[in-house]
A = this chain, B = another copy of it.
Amino acid sequence: MRIEIVTIGDELLLGFTIDTNAAHLARELAAVGVEIVHRTTVGDDAGDIADAVKTAIGRTGAVITTGGLGPTSDDLTKPSIAALFGRKMIRDEVILEALKARWARYRRLGPFPESNVAQAMIPEGATIIPNQHGSAPGIWLEDSGGRWVAMLPGVPREMKGMLADELLPRIVERVKRAGETPTVVRSRTLRTTGIAESALADQLGDLARGVDGLALAFLPSTESVDLRLTSRGLTSDAADAALAAGVLKLRGAAGRYVYGEDGADLAETVLDACRRRGVKLSVAESCTGGLLGARLTAIPGSSDVFMGGVIAYDNSIKRGWLGVTDKDLEDHGAVSEEVATTMAKSVREKTKTDIGIGITGVAGPGGGTAAKPVGMVWVALDGIGTQARCLRLFGTRNEVRQRAAQAALDMVRRSLETG
């Protein structure tokens, strides 16, 4: 099966909104063996929408659209495609009741808005694609020849949820019914941290150019360099086996820089490692200002490992809550091994945890000096793996902060591996 994607919105065409939906659809569909053969973006214009969908359906008979299903006046997808299929728009009372119930449940800002009623209008003969993630339902419209258009909302969270809940199962069913044994595009990703892309490439040697016929891509981000192995042209089982073998080789070559696979978050890796060993964590954050705590608590179930700590942004809090002395601040400055070490030790003792993490640095853009430039960050651990490291990070203020939090987590990970 081949599918075309039409993404709809002036936002996308003019670049005001980034088209995340097309990428998500391509990835999810490739993983079940469906190829995306063409991608078009059109603005909020009924004629352009109808033209793009008409062309696309002429090529493949199968089209997914995103966008233009909301309650505001620029949402034209449903009537445009209804007209293309020669269908009237009718009001669906079930949808209307669900919208009203949802409104009553979440909003306490007055009566049900009239502009929401448009969301209950659907093309005659269409099938509803339920939306558990927001208010706008999706639409499946099919003609007598089996050619279909699936219309999903443009809000990425809703689109992704509906794709997983409803649309992918429906498409997989169609592929099976057609008796196709598809080859798949499938990949696995190793996440590394603490090493630059080019140094990692050197470390991998020949593997950097691919592993046993699998393509290898280097994907650097603020906190990690991901290694993604991709298999193409194999059936599902063969792809899984080839990827498993390739991942093993890469892990051997990349060594301890690897902290997880696929969507792994280093915070989750660290929480899991702590949980296995019964270790509890606390933080004392200056330049990161709560970012490390936020990362740890972003993970559901973090409360059995992470107790909390102190945001010691101002020196008065470093002194009053964490026992940093005036003398240390005067002699060594707030960004120093001594202060980071005291922060880590105090927060660990006061919260009665097993590992205390102290972070103090110059996030920038101001505040740097020759001796302590922007990007200089001291990270200290106390308890298991007691140590202090001086990092020299580059990037914007927020990149420095994110990299500092990541480096602190990685110090905990490595301490637990060896400790």
Say if the beta carbon of A238 comes within 8 Å of chain B.
no
Say if the beta carbon of A20 comes within 8 Å of chain B.
yes
How far is A312 from B217 in the complex, measured between Cα atoms in Å? 41
Say if the beta carbon of A201 comes within 8 Å of chain B.
yes
- Residue-by-residue, is A403-417 near B (CB-CB < 8 Å gives 1, otherwise 0)? 000000000000000
Chain A contributes a number of interface residues (CB within 8 A of B) equal to 102
A294 touches B291 (CB 8 A): yes
Say if the beta carbon of A346 comes within 8 Å of chain B.
no
Which residue of the partner chain, among B74, B115, B300, B307, contacts A202 with CB atoms under 8 Å?
B115
Given contacts A23-B16, A289-B296, contact A10 B202 (CB under 8 A): no
Say if the beta carbon of A364 comes within 8 Å of chain B.
yes
How far is A215 from B72 in the complex, measured between Cα atoms in Å? 12
A217 touches B307 (CB 8 A): no
Say if the beta carbon of A22 comes within 8 Å of chain B.
yes
Taking CB as reference atom, which chain B residue is nearest A155?
A: B220
Which residue of the partner chain, among B155, B185, B316, contacts A352 with CB atoms under 8 Å?
B316
How far is A285 from B283 in the complex, measured between Cα atoms in Å? 13
How far is A3 from B335 in the complex, measured between Cα atoms in Å? 48
Given contacts A16-B228, A301-B366, contact A113 B198 (CB under 8 A): yes
How far is A307 from B313 in the complex, measured between Cα atoms in Å? 6
Q: 16 A-B Cβ contacts within 8 A?
A: A17-B219, A71-B198, A72-B208, A115-B198, A135-B198, A285-B290, A289-B296, A290-B293, A290-B311, A291-B297, A297-B401, A300-B365, A303-B313, A306-B313, A308-B311, A316-B351
Extra 7 A-B pairs, beta carbons < 8 Å, given A73-B208, A289-B302:
A15-B28, A19-B23, A72-B198, A115-B208, A157-B395, A290-B297, A293-B294
